[in-house]
Amino acid sequence: MAEIKIIEENEHFLKLEISGFPKEIVNALRRTMIAEVPTLAIDEVLFTENTSS
């Protein structure tokens, strides 16, 4: 029997136990969740030389 249990959950974290599903379906779910996580990219960095002694 297919089952999904929530093991731990908070505002920034969710831990699941998934059983009874084909590994391909679980992997597709994992990849979808990863794709939906917001990401950040740094576009420009400015370095200034420290001229003090």
| Domain ranges across the chain | 3-35
Could you tell me which of 36, 5, 6, 39 has the C-alpha nearest to residue 20?
Answer: 5
Q: Taking the model in full, what pTM does it have?
A: 0.57
The predicted structure's pLDDT at residue 53? 76
Q: What are the percentages of helix, strand and coil residues in the chain, rounded to 5? A: 25, 30, 45
10-residue mean pLDDT series, the chain (53 residues): 94 92 94 89 93 85
Q: Which helix (H) or strand (E) holds 16?
A: strand 13-19
